[in-house]
C-alpha cells in the first residue's frame, strides 16, 4: 500500500510529474483539519488517497471508446463503397418507412388515449341480443339508464350523425353541422366553457325554448370572436336561436360540430324508435363487470315497465367508448401492419444478401485482421456496427418516408377511419412514433446483420491469404444461406400477394 504513490508517479508521463508533485504539496498544505493531521501521521493513508484521486482523474470507459472506434471504422468502410451503402440504406428506408406510416395511424387510432378527462371511464350503453351488441337508444331506454346512479356519474344522449341547418341573417348564408345533445353532455365529456354556459335542465325539457351552444371554430370563423356573442340570436332554418355559450378550442368530438342544440326529451314518452346514442361515465372504482350486472337488472326492470319492448334474450351492456369508436378498424389496421412487416422482412433478406456478397470481397481483409490478432468477437462486433449504421441511417430516411407515406395512405384509404380527423390532421409523428422507428431500426440492423457478421468471421486464414479478393469464391455455406434467403423472399412476397388478393375480394 505504501508504494502506490511511487507506482502512480512512475505510470505518469514525464511532462505531468511536476503537476502531480504540485497536487501532492497542495493536498498536504491546504487541509488544516483532523483528516490532514491523520494523513501527516500516517503516510500510507496519504498514498492511498492520492492513488484514488489519480485513478479517478485517469479513468476510462472501454465500452464506449470501443463502440465509438467501431462506429468510425464502419462509416469509413461504408464510405469506400457508396453504391452499396446507398442501395442498402434505400431498401431499409422503404421497409422502415412503410412500417412507420402504418404505425403512425395505429398510434393515433388505437394507442393514443381519448382527449376527454379520464377517458377510461367513458362507456357507450348498448343493446345485446343473439346477433351481438349494437348501439342505439330510445327515450324509455335513456330514461331507465339515466336512473342508474349507483354506477354512473353522468348519462347523456347525443346524435351521432348530426344535422345540417342553414345559418341565415347575414351576407353569406352557411350550412352548419348541428348536433343534438341532452343537458349532461358537456359535463360528461368535460367540455371547457369559454364564455357563457351550457343548457339548463329547463332548457333541456319540452318547450324549453330555442337555445344553442357554439363551437370555438364557428365563433371565430363566423363571428370574429365577438365577446358579446352570448345573448345574441342566430337564424337557423329561419328560426331564432339564443346563444347561451361558447365551448373552448380544445374540445374535439368524433362528429364534427359547429353548434349544439338540446334534445328536449319528454321522459314520459313511450316512443320506441331508436334515433340517438347514449354515453355514460362510470363512477370511481366501478368496473365494466359491475356495470353490466346493474344493467342486467335494469333490463329486467325495462321488461316489466314496457312489456314486449325487449326480448327475453336481449339486454343492455356497457362498452368502452374507444372500443366503439375504433370498431372493425382495429382488425384492418393490424392486418395492414402485418403486411408491411412482411415488406420489412423482405427488405432485411435483401440487405443480408448484399452483405453476404460484400463479405466474399472482404475475405482477405478479414483474414489479415484476424492474423494480426483481432479476435472473432471483435470482428463480429465491427461488422455488426456497420449493419447498425446502415439501419439507423435507413431509419432516419424511413422516418421521412413514413411521414410522406401517411399522407399517401390516408389519400387512398376508403375513408371512415376514426379518430384521425376529417383531413387526417390528427395523425402526427409524435414521441411514440419516433421510439418505434428507433426500435425497428436497431432490431432491423441486428436482424439482417448478425448472421452475415458471424458467417464472415469464419475464415480460413491460409486459404484466404493465398487468394486475392477478386479470386475469392463464395463458400458452400454462404451460397446455401444466400439461396435460403432468396427462397424466403419469394415466400414472403407470395404471402403478400395472396393476402392482398383476399383483402380485395372481401
100 neighbors 401 (Cβ within 8 angstroms): yes
pLDDT of 419: 83
Report if residue 95 sits inside a domain: yes
Question: Which of 312, 338, 371 is the last residue in one of the domains?
Answer: 312
- Phi, psi torsion values for 279, nearest 5 degrees: -115, 155
DSSP class of residue 228? T
Whether residue 230 sits in one domain with residue 95 = no
Give the pLDDT of residue 69: 82
Q: Are residues 240 and 362 in the same domain?
A: no
Query: What tens digit of pLDDT does each residue of 280-335 get?
Result: 999 999 999 999 999 999 999 999 999 988 988 899 999 999 999 998 889 888 98
pLDDT, tens digit, 9 for 90 and up, residues 118-129: 999 999 999 998
- For 58, the 3-state DSSP assignment is coil
Q: What range does the domain containing 41 cover?
A: 4-57
Does residue 317 fall inside a structural domain?
no
Asked if 255 and 160 touch (Cβ cutoff 8 Å), the reply is yes
Based on the domain organization, do 375 and 287 belong to the same domain?
no
Question: Torsion over CA of 458, 459, 461 and 466, rounded to 10 degrees?
Answer: 170
Query: How does pLDDT run across 21-56, given as a tens digit for each residue?
Result: 555 445 444 444 444 454 444 555 445 555 555 555
Instruction: Report the share of the chain in percent with pLDDT over 70.
Output: 76
C-alpha dist (Å) from residue 205 to 118, 191, 442: 29, 21, 60
Average pLDDT score over residue span 363-372: 72
Calculated CA dihedral for residues 6, 12, 13, 15, nearest 10 degrees: -80
Q: What is the pLDDT of residues 408-460, one digit of tens each?
A: 878 777 667 888 876 777 888 889 999 999 999 999 999 888 888 887 777 65
- The per-residue pLDDT for 154 is 95
What is the tens place of the pLDDT at every residue in 232-244?
999 999 899 999 9
Maximum distance among all Cα pairs of the chain, rounded to whole angstroms: 103
Percent of the chain whose pLDDT exceeds 90 = 40
Q: What is the CA radius of gyration of the chain?
A: 35
* pTM of the complete model: 0.73
Q: Is 321 part of a structural domain of the chain?
A: no
Contacts of 305 (CB under 8 A, 6+ apart): 140, 144
Q: Which whole-number Å values give the CA distances from 383 to 379, 430, 487, in the listed order?
A: 6, 32, 25
The pLDDT assigned to 244 comes to 96
Do 173 and 289 reside in the same domain of the chain? yes
Do 176 and 308 fall within a single domain? Answer: yes
Domains in the chain: how many in total?
3
Of 4-8, 29-33, 110-114, 402-406, the range with the lowest mean pLDDT is 4-8
Query: Which has the closest alpha carbon to 77: 387, 351, 354?
Result: 387
Strand partners, 261: 180
CA dihedral 37, 43, 48, 52 (to 10 degrees): 60
Q: Which of 18-32, 108-122, 136-150, 174-188 has the lowest mean pLDDT?
A: 18-32
Query: Does 421 lie in the same domain as 374?
Result: yes
Please check whether residues 85 and 219 belong to one and the same domain: no
Residue 469 pLDDT greater than 60, yes or no: no
pLDDT tens sequence across 385-401: 999 999 999 999 999 99
**Contact by Cβ (8 Å): 324, 124:** yes
**Is 77 in the same domain as 144?**
no
Q: Do residues 10 and 141 share a domain?
A: no
Ramachandran angles phi, psi of 359, nearest 5°: -65, -35
Interatomic CA distance for residues 122 and 143, integer angstroms: 19
- Asked whether residue 6 carries a pLDDT value surpassing 70, the answer given is no
Mean pLDDT, rounded, of the chain: 81
Sign of the C-alpha dihedral, residues 210, 211, 214, 219?
positive
Higher-scoring residue by pLDDT: 251, 502? 251
pLDDT in tens, 471-482: 444 454 555 555
- Taking CA atoms, 117 is separated from 65, 114, 271, in Å, by 48, 8, 33
On whether both 265 and 349 belong to a single domain, the answer is: no
The DSSP letter of residue 109 is I
| Dihedral over alpha carbons 33, 38, 43, 45 (to 10 degrees) | -100
Same-domain pairing of 137 and 281: yes
322 in a structural domain? no
Same-domain status, 398 and 491: yes
Tell me the pLDDT band of 211, cut-offs 50, 70 and 90. Answer: very high
Highest mean predicted confidence (pLDDT) among 321-325, 364-368, 373-377: 321-325
Q: Is residue 341 part of a domain?
A: yes
**Distance separating alpha carbons of residues 348 and 264, to the nearest angstrom:** 61
Query: Is residue 318 domain-resident?
Result: no
244 falls within a domain: yes
Confidence of residue 189 (pLDDT cuts 50, 70, 90): very high
Residue 121 lies in a domain: no
Amino acid at each position: 500500500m505504501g508504494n502506490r504513490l511511487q507506482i502512480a508517479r512512475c505510470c505518469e508521463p514525464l511532462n505531468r510529474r511536476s503537476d502531480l508533485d504540485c497536487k501532492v504539496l497542495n493536498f498536504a498544505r491546504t487541509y488544516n483539519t483532523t483528516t490532514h493531521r491523520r494523513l501527516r501521521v500516517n503516510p500510507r493513508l496519504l498514498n492511498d488517497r492520492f492513488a484514488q484521486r489519480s485513478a479517478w482523474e485517469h479513468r476510462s470507459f472501454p465500452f464506449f471508446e470501443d463502440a465509438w472506434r467501431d462506429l468510425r471504422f464502419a462509416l469509413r468502410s461504408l464510405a469506400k463503397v457508396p453504391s452499396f451503402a446507398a442501395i442498402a440504406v434505400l431498401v431499409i428506408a422503404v421497409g422502415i418507412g412503410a412500417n412507420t406510416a402504418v404505425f403512425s395511424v395505429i398510434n393515433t387510432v388505437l394507442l393514443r388515449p381519448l382527449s376527454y378527462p379520464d377517458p377510461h371511464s367513458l362507456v357507450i350503453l348498448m343493446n345485446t341480443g343473439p346477433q351481438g351488441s349494437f348501439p342505439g337508444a330510445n327515450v324509455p331506454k335513456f330514461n331507465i339508464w339515466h336512473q342508474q346512479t349507483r354506477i354512473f356519474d353522468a348519462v347523456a344522449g347525443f346524435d351521432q350523425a348530426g344535422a345540417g341547418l342553414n345559418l341565415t341573417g347575414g351576407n353569406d348564408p352557411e350550412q352548419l353541422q348541428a348536433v343534438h345533445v341532452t343537458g349532461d353532455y358537456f359535463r360528461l365529456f368535460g367540455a371547457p366553457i369559454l364564455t357563457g354556459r351550457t343548457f339548463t335542465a329547463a332548457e333541456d325539457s319540452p318547450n324549453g325554448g330555442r337555445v344553442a351552444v357554439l363551437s370555438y371554430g364557428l365563433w371565430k370563423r363566423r363571428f370574429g370572436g365577438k365577446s358579446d356573442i352570448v345573448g345574441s340570436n342566430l337564424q337557423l332554418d329561419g328560426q331564432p336561436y339564443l346563444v347561451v355559450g361558447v365551448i373552448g378550442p380544445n374540445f374535439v368530438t368524433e362528429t364534427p360540430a359547429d353548434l349544439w342544440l338540446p334534445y328536449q326529451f319528454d321522459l314520459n314518452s313511450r316512443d320506441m324508435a331508436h334515433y340517438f346514442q347514449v354515453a355514460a361515465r362510470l363512477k370511481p372504482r366501478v368496473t365494466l363487470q359491475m356495470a353490466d350486472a346493474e344493467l342486467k337488472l335494469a333490463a329486467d326492470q325495462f321488461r316489466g315497465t314496457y312489456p314486449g319492448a325487449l326480448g327475453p334474450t336481449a339486454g343492455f351492456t356497457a362498452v368502452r367508448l374507444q372500443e366503439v369508436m375504433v370498431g372493425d378498424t382495429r382488425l384492418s389496421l393490424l392486418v395492414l401492419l402485418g403486411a408491411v412487416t412482411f415488406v420489412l422482412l423482405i427488405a432485411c433478406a435483401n440487405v443480408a444478401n448484399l452483405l453476404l456478397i460484400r463479405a466474399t470481397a472482404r475475405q482477405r481483409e478479414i483474414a489479415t485482421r484476424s492474423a494480426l490478432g483481432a479476435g472473432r468477437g471483435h470482428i463480429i462486433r465491427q461488422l455488426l456496427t456497420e449493419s447498425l449504421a446502415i439501419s439507423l441511417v435507413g431509419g432516419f430516411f424511413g422516418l421521412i418516408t413514413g411521414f410522406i407515406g401517411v399522407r399517401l395512405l390516408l389519400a387512398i384509404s376508403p375513408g371512415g377511419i376514426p379518430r384521425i380527423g376529417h383531413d387526417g390532421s390528427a395523425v402526427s409523428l409524435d414521441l411514440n412514433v419516433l421510439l418505434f422507428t428507433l426500435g425497428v431500426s436497431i432490431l432491423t440492423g441486428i436482424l439482417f446483420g448478425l448472421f452475415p457478421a458471424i458467417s464472415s468471421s469464419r475464415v480460413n486464414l491460409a486459404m484466404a491469404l493465398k487468394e486475392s479478393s477478386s479470386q475469392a469464391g463464395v463458400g458452400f455455406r454462404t451460397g446455401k444461406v444466400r439461396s435460403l434467403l432468396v427462397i424466403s423472399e419469394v415466400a414472403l412476397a407470395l404471402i403478400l400477394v395472396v393476402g392482398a388478393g383476399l383483402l380485395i375480394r372481401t
